Amino acid sequence: MMKPDIMPEDQPFTLSTLPPGRAQKRLALAVMLVFLGALFILAGGLSNIQLRRIDSFVPAYGMAMFVNDMITAVLLFNQFAILRSCAILAISTGYLFTALMLVPWMLVFPGAFAPAGLLGTGLQSTDWLNALRYAGFPTFVIAYTLLKGVNSPKRLWEGSVGATILSSVAMTSAVVCSVTVLAIVGDAYLPRIMLDPVHFSTFALYLAGCLILWNAIALTLLWIRQRSVLDLWLMAVVCAYAIEIYLVSYPGLARFSAGWYAGRVFGFVSSILVLIVLLHEITTLYAQLHRAVLAQRREREARLMTGDAVSASIAHEIKQPLTTIKASANAGLNWLDRGEPELDRARDALRRVVTAGDRADALVENIRTHFRMGVRPRTSLDINDVIRGALTVVGDKLRTNRIAVRADLNERLPRIRGEQIQLQQVLVNLIGNAIDSMATEDGERLLSIRSEVHQSRYVMVSVQDTGKGLEPGTDDRIFNPMFTTKEDGMGMGLAICRSIIGAHEGEISVTPDKGPGAIFHFTVPFDPGSAS
């Protein structure tokens, strides 16, 4: 049986718990190699070229980075809300911090929003704010890495996720505001990163070296404690950060050098990387959930269908003997009510009542076994006997509807192995449908039943009528449970036939278009014990 396409219950479903697949590891490694390759090319030649100062570059870059980091922070805070993990809280706050730090940096950058910067001249404060951002992110990554192993006390967060996130946002904003004020107010006292508005000091290079080292420590820790998809991509991000710091400071030793611009591009790539992976994973997860919900719905429908099918088939099978019981009991009463009661005829009628009752009993038992998937004992049978038995059962109905019967039975057929009541039921259903189909037609009413050998391994029985035939376009659906075109039909007869014949390793089919009416065929394999 095909397994429903649903997620295994124990599958981790967030980026921070999902272990990376081999393809993903390869991709992350390839990305890091591309970064390093680009670094060598840029550091080797292009980056010490001084380019034109583009004032709009800083706000454009800053805004793009701000949006990326903000969205990433929101998605990661969401993961925190699901997992309640201190580590995820740390990295979400890290992204929030880098996003918020971009704001004062843009505002003080000379020429970005105002010639001397919107928040004062700030010759040193601009790059000190930038350096704090560069130092902050790896710090949060290190905190994330160290907290990862800690079993987060889930109870601690219960009911207070929103408050935790809010306080994290408030504290981060407070820190960003404080350092901004300190940097702007204390600009004159800060160690000199800039010699003039364009050129870096030697101190700037030492500072950049320290920041690169700090990122390298974060990278190493991530590498050592790497477990999830998030860890993998954070490694790529930290790698890009380190490259950005190097390119921005070393090769040109000045703002607006080719290296400085290229470093910013690295910064942008690093900020968008985790965002892309997060979005991709969330979309994949959504698709999996969608499939899981559909599979569950199908399963539920199938279960309901089985329930309906059981009740419908009991009703369907029982209807026919009940009709006989009612008719025979009425006939019996009539014979007894006469002035001179006809006792022999009344006795016959009562016998028919008993036979139909026994049949109903056997049918109920049979249906129960069928739906329990139990195996009833099979015996060696002559299919012609089964056909004759079925014709006896429907004898009254055939006579009432004035239907002639032509039985073309091959008396030399090999025996089959099967369950008599079930096979008889198949024939009763097929003949019952044939009668229904002819009962509404005025022309010739002939039921032909044929038994023959099929493909030298099977016995094939055909039931042909001269009725109105199948309704156009229904031949592929008539075997479906609950499919009916009759006003009082239940649509279970043929479904039961198919299931019984299938259990006997045979097949049932219909040929709708040969002459008037329809021909149904079914096959049952020879009994291996009696084959000569």
Binding site for ligand ADP (CB under 6 A): 429, 433-434, 437, 465, 467, 469-471, 474, 478, 483-486, 489-495, 518
CB of 327 to ligand ADP, least distance (A): 20
3-state SS, residue 77:
helix
Between 334 and 474, whose beta carbon lies closer to ligand ADP?
A: 474
Tokens found for residue 124: 């040193």
Q: Rounded to an integer, what distance in angstroms lies between the CA atom of residue 308 and that of residue 500?
A: 18
In whole angstroms, give the CA distance from residue 275 to residue 279.
6
Supply the DSSP symbol for 483.
-
Pick 295 or 446: Cβ nearer ligand ADP: 446
Smallest gap, in angstroms, from Cβ of residue 456 to ligand ADP?
A: 28
Identify which of residues 243 and 500 has a Cβ nearer to ligand ADP in the complex: 500
Least distance (Å) between residue 316 CB and ligand ADP:
7
By beta-carbon proximity to ligand ADP, the closer residue of 164 and 511 is 511
Minimal distance, residue 368 CB to ligand ADP, in Å? 20
Q: At its nearest, how many Å lie between ligand ADP and the CB of residue 448?
A: 12
Tell me the three state secondary structure of residue 463: strand
Q: What letter represents residue 458's amino acid?
A: Y
- The backbone torsions φ and ψ at residue 481, rounded to the nearest 5 degrees and listed phi first, read -60, 145
Q: Which amino acid is at 130?
A: N
Instruction: Please state whether beta strands 379-381 and 404-409 pair in parallel, antiparallel, or not at all (unpaired).
Output: unpaired
Report, in Å, the least distance between residue 349 CB and ligand ADP.
Answer: 27
- 2, HSE (Cβ side, Cα atoms, 13 Å): 6
Q: 135: exposed, middle or buried (C-beta count within 10 Å: 0-12, 13-18, 19+)?
A: middle
Nearer to ligand ADP, 128 or 522 (CB): 522
Ranges of beta strands (E only) in 339-495 are: 379-381, 404-409, 416-418, 446-454, 458-464
CA 331 to chain centre: 60
Residues 273/233, Cβ–Cβ less than 8 Å: yes
CA gap 90, 376 in Å, rounded: 65
Give the three-state DSSP class for 86.
helix
Identity of the residue, 207 or 393, whose beta carbon is nearer to ligand ADP in the bound complex: 393
Q: Cβ 446 to ligand ADP, closest distance in Å?
A: 13
Closest separation in Å from C-beta 92 to ligand ADP: 60
Task: Quote the least distance from Cβ 344 to ligand ADP, whole Å.
Answer: 36
Q: Which amino acid is at 1?
A: M
What is the Cα–Cα distance from 480 to 498, expressed in whole angstroms?
A: 9
Q: Token digits for 142?
A: 């290190």
Q: Which is nearer to ligand ADP, 211 or 492 (CB)?
A: 492
Distance CA 526, CA 285 (A): 52
Q: How far is the CB of 324 from ligand ADP (least distance, A)?
A: 17
Nearer to ligand ADP, 78 or 484 (CB): 484
Structure tokens at 270: 């690093």
SS3 sequence of 313-368 = HHHHHHHHHHHHHHHHHHHHHHHHHCCCCCHHHHHHHHHHHHHHHHHHHHHHHHHH
The token pair that represents 471 in the structure block? 């309704």
Q: Give the span between the Cα atoms of 76 and 87, in whole angstroms.
A: 11
d(CA 318, CA 311) in angstroms, rounded, equals 11
When the beta carbons of 110 and 469 are compared against ligand ADP, the nearer one is 469
Cα 396 from Cα 233, distance rounded (Å): 79
Q: How far is the CB of 375 from ligand ADP (least distance, A)?
A: 24
**456 DSSP 8-state letter:** T
Residue 163 or 404: which CB sits closer to ligand ADP? 404
Q: How far is the CB of 479 from ligand ADP (least distance, A)?
A: 7
In terms of CB distance, is 357 or 489 closer to ligand ADP? 489
For residue 144, the one-letter residue type is Y
Which is closer to ligand ADP, CB of 87 or CB of 434?
Answer: 434
**Between 75 and 478, whose beta carbon lies closer to ligand ADP?**
478
Q: Report, in Å, the least distance between residue 433 CB and ligand ADP.
A: 3
Cβ distance to ligand ADP smaller for residue 440 or 455: 440
Give one word for 383, left, alpha or beta, with left for phi > 0 and alpha for psi -120 to 50: alpha
Q: How many degrees, rounded to 5, is the angle at CA 236 between CA 235 and CA 241?
A: 95
Q: How far is the CB of 474 from ligand ADP (least distance, A)?
A: 6
Residue whose beta carbon is closest to ligand ADP:
493
Give the integer Cα–Cα distance in Å for 359 and 370.
16
